[in-house]
Structure 1
Amino acid sequence: MKLCRREPRTVKLQTLVMILVFMVVLLSALATALFISYYVTKNEEKHLSEKIQAIARVTAHSNTVIQSLQEETEVDIQEYANEIRTLSDVGFVVIMDMDLIRKSHPLDEEVGQTFFNRKDAEKSLEGKEYFSVEEGPLGMGMRVFTPVYDGGEQIGVVVVGVSLDTVESLAYNSRRYVYIGAILQLCLGAIGAYYLSRYMKRKLYGLEPVEIAKILQERNAMIEAAKEGIIGVNDDGKITVISREALRLMGFKQKEEILGQSVEDCMPSLARAMRNGQPEENVEQAFDHRTVLANNVPIMHKGRVIGGLSVFKDKTELQEMADQLTGIKLYTESLRAQSHEFMNKFHVILGLVHLKKYDEMSRYIENLVDDYETEKGFIVKRIKNAIFAGFLLGKLSKARELGIQLIINEDSYMPGYIEEEYIHDLIRIAGNLIENAFDALEGVKEKVVIFSIGVLDGELVMEVGDSGNGIPEELVTAIFEKGYSTKGTGRGYGLYLTKQSVEKLNGMIELKTKAGAGTTFTVFLPLQES
């Protein structure tokens, strides 16, 4: 049996941040506490050493001590030393003569006895002042030896000290505040780590690093797979994201050539959209070797532009796609019109069969055949290209369905040796112009459209005229603009695409119109033979 492999559990980002921040705070607090504790202890020891040194010097210069050592009056020295010890809050004040015999001591039984550690006190007999930490009758203590002089002659030694327990007690009292501060620092650090982790999680929309990495990989895959060019810009106007298709359309080979560049230099239309804070659709953007149609969108956050995105495609490719769709639509409409016309005629025939009017049916069919053969014969005779001839037959059927008289000029002629791709372009141009003429007859009593095509001086000349109301003079230049229409939204692309197709074939289009007298479009195209 195959067992499912369990993926190793990963620590959540929020937990990891809390642990890391807490550990940093903990180590910082410990290091700070140790350093300050060491500093406080040393400072306390220094303070006590300076204190006992000052007391020892004052005592050594006291007239009472000097006179008592000269006269060897132990009572006066003992009383004076105890008074100094009590007032200064030190552990002991010991006064000795040059034989290191104690003249004073906190313990009365030690008075008159030799110094406990004579070796430690020998340097004091040489007139030196120094500190030492040694054990005495009162236990381990820190003490200072200070010589006593009378007229330049040393007559004794003053020893002032404190118990090490006292030193440790004072240092502990000072360190206690340090430890309390460290504990408070840890508590605040833990609280801060918790809220910092929550803030980071909220900023990351609750996503874990693995999920963010996955989303980034998916985003990059989608950008690279897109057939459109995609550019992303940050709030500084620098390009941060670019797809492979965008590189191709812009003429670059490597992403490094454009990443980090100013969008103002590479994509001015996107920079304009970001400045205005408004999206722009189907904007023409020219690069060195091609023109694209771009949709530019500023990225907003709390009313502020924080970046921009542009999605664009080669205008030539879009034009070809639009032309193909337009051609398919025209073919479909022609077939539908013919199908609808013949269906009506079939219904008439079916009705005559049910009524058993066979003679009338025979005459009706003969008339249909005669009309169709006449119409078909004229078109086939004048229009040598079978595809374009079929297209005109379809338009004739649709015109009859709409109640419009579509007249094909008897002088029309088209040679049969024209390239097939060129024929498709002609059908798109003729189809749009004829459909536009049909629309122009709406509300007109006499509905007539005249179509003619022929060859003149090596050019193919196509003309479509209608008996409509004409085009106002102020609108003549506007009708070829993309999206312009007097028939509502979603229209206004037929004449625009027609002009684009004519220009694609290096031709030209002329317009003649008069109010109340109709409109005529004339197209001149270089003849391309197969």
Structure 2
Amino acid sequence: MNSLVSRLDRLLPRSLQVKLILLVTGLLLLLVGLIGALFSDSVENLLRVQIGRKAVEVARSVALNPAIREGLRTGNSRDVQAAAEAIRKATDAEFVVIGDTRGIRLSHPDPKKIGEHFVGGDIDLALKEGKSYASESVGTLGPSLRGIVPVRDDREEIIGFAAVGYLVQDIEAVVREQQWEILRYAAVVVLFGIFGATLIARGLKSVIFGLEPQEIAALFRERNAVIGAIREGIISVDGEGRLTLVNPAARRYLGESPSADLRGRRLTEVCPCADLERSLGEGEPLFDREMTLAGRTMVVNILPFGAAGAGAVASFRPKDELDRLTRQLSQMQEYSELLRAQTHEYTNKLHTIAGLIQIGAHQEALDLIMTESSGYQDLIRTLAEAVPDPVVAGVILGKFNRARELKIDFIFDRQSFLTDLPEHLDRNHLLTILGNLLDNAFDAVRDAPRREVRLFLTDLGPDLLFEVEDSGEGISPNIAATLFEKGVTTKGGTGRGIGLFLVRRALDALRGEITVGRGEIGGALFTAIIPKGVGRELK
């Protein structure tokens, strides 16, 4: 069975447009054929009934003709024949036959057959029971539809019969003529149907962008695979605000079962997210907007399908996941920057040492090597004792190398110590705070006459304390109140004003605080305070 279906499928045209035209045309031909056959049969039956009634009515007129009644009574076939033939010619009947009670003809279109028995065997009801009726039988002229009526005398006694007939072949000729008329109308209907089927097929083909069914099926499978593979939650709604698509990630973020069918339901029936439902219904695009969905802060993007009321699609992902990716990217960028700075710095040093050796200044080259080695090693020993945490020590060492590349005097306070750093504190937040404060200080002293940055760390008491001081111009009173807002900066250019904003956000996550004032070396002094005991429940 399957092989037969596949063989038939191969025989059919591949084009959807041709398939639709053939399908509609085939159905139309079938319907027109059935209707035409039923109508033709109805016409034939109606025509036979009408001709039968006509034959009976003519036969009744013949039976009431005085000349025919008198001829039957006296047996005068000449007068009966003359009267019958006159009636036959006047009514366009095929024959008008008059017979007596024995069935002997007194008239016939062929005079030679007068005096013979009436052929057909269908006159008994008229002669014996006195009924008038239509009958179809085979006579001497062939199959005919005849009306048979008894002829009565003045005393209402049956003295014979009158038969008026029409040949079946003549009736069939009329029926065929009517059938050809029906066929002509059917052909016109079919032509219009083919034209309409072509227009419908073209319109449907245009609506589906010229794609064939197998291409649509392939695109549907690809679309489901792509949407299922996306880690962002994706939902779409129709013009009435009902869900039409919910991918597995969206069901997971909304707290639903991965196999749950949410189509047809409103978003607020699934989760308390009225803001998202309202935004989807507004028909306006929305990018990177933070909203609360199912108790989590999500970064949402919305794109409408077209005009307002046509529906929209929304993608969203938890903000904490994006923050984690951002932190990881920032760490990689810092690591890359550290390697670049070290490469650049040591390349310069190697070139200098090579130059000193080439000119014979061996002692100066040796002194330079010892100075660089001792300074760097001294910082490493200090960090190993004061800051045993490798993550924090690593960022300080990286910023030290960055400062040397920028020709900035980076001083790590020898009184610093950070040995009581709780394990439950998020190291990513600590790196964000320390790294951005140092970067901000480096930027502040780039154009200053004195290029110095100081760092002090301590874990005395219940809090961690980070102090970053620079020798720049300090903080202007005009922006002091909004310094930690996104986009606020004391430096020109675009893409700035992010570092201190990230510091403030990281401190908020750790329930810490930060103050800014003027330091001892003339610039800004940032002091970040982080409680040691609050990280455990935030972890």
Aligned to 1:344: 348
Distance across 1 between alignment mates of 2:473 and 2:55: 122
Aligned to 2:313: 309
SS at match of 1:256: coil
Aligned to 2:125: 123
Aligned to 2:304: 298
Distance across 1 between alignment mates of 2:45 and 2:376: 120
AA aligned opposite 2:63: A
Q: How many residues of Structure 1 are paired with residues of Structure 2 in the alignment? A: 518
Aligned to 2:332: 328
Instruction: Pick from 66, 70, 80 the counterpart of residue 83 of structure 2.
Output: 80
Aligned to 2:147: 144
Mapping for residues 129-528 of structure 1, pairs under 5 Å: 129-154=132-157, 155-263=159-267, 265-266=269-270, 271-272=277-278, 274-300=280-306, 306-361=310-365, 364=368, 382-383=386-387, 385=389, 387-408=391-412, 412-415=416-419, 417-419=421-423, 422-441=426-445, 447-466=451-470, 467-468=472-473, 470=475, 473=478, 476-477=481-482, 479-481=484-486, 490-510=495-515, 519-527=524-532
Shift, 1:45, TM fit:
0.4
Distance across 2 between alignment mates of 1:512 and 1:145: 130
Point out the more displaced range, 467-476 or 501-510: 467-476
- Is the 8 Å Cα contact of residues 20 and 197 (structure 2) preserved in structure 1? yes
AA aligned opposite 1:106: P
Shift, 1:417, TM fit:
5.0
Distance change in 2, residues 1:108/1:369 (3 Å): closer
Shift, 1:185, TM fit:
4.0
Point out the more displaced range, 199-208 or 308-317: 199-208
Distance change in 2, residues 1:337/1:86 (3 Å): same
Aligned to 2:95: 92
Distance across 2 between alignment mates of 1:89 and 1:518: 129
- Is the 8 Å Cα contact of residues 99 and 118 (structure 2) preserved in structure 1? no
Distance change in 2, residues 1:323/1:62 (3 Å): same
Distance across 1 between alignment mates of 2:224 and 2:47: 64
AA aligned opposite 1:123: L
SS at match of 1:328: helix
AA aligned opposite 1:139: G
- Is the 8 Å Cα contact of residues 270 and 308 (structure 1) preserved in structure 2? no
- Is the 8 Å Cα contact of residues 137 and 143 (structure 2) preserved in structure 1? yes
Shift, 1:181, TM fit:
3.1
Aligned to 2:3: none
Distance across 2 between alignment mates of 1:295 and 1:511: 36
Distance across 2 between alignment mates of 1:263 and 1:388: 45
Shift, 1:310, TM fit:
3.1
Distance across 1 between alignment mates of 2:62 and 2:445: 130
Distance change in 2, residues 1:357/1:292 (3 Å): same
SS at match of 2:265: coil
> Gapped runs of 5+ residues in structure 2?
1-5
Distance across 2 between alignment mates of 1:464 and 1:487: 22
Shift, 1:108, TM fit:
3.2
- Is the 8 Å Cα contact of residues 383 and 416 (structure 1) preserved in structure 2? no
1:395-433 deviation digits (Å, cap 9, x = unpaired): 244334334454545654322654397445322211012
- Is the 8 Å Cα contact of residues 147 and 156 (structure 1) preserved in structure 2? yes
> Among the aligned pairs, what percent are the same residue?
31
Instruction: Pick from 50, 60, 83 the counterpart of residue 57 of structure 1.
Output: 60
Distance across 1 between alignment mates of 2:21 and 2:343: 75
Instruction: Pick from 39, 42, 45 the counterpart of residue 48 of structure 2.
Output: 45
Shift, 1:39, TM fit:
0.7
Normalised TM-score (structure 1): 0.82
Distance across 2 between alignment mates of 1:484 and 1:72: 134
Distance across 2 between alignment mates of 1:85 and 1:495: 120
1:49-91 deviation digits (Å, cap 9, x = unpaired): 1222222223333445445555666555444333322222221
> Gapped runs of 5+ residues in structure 1?
1-6
Shift, 1:28, TM fit:
1.9
- Is the 8 Å Cα contact of residues 281 and 308 (structure 2) preserved in structure 1? no
What is the Cα-based RMSD across aligned positions, in Å? 3.9
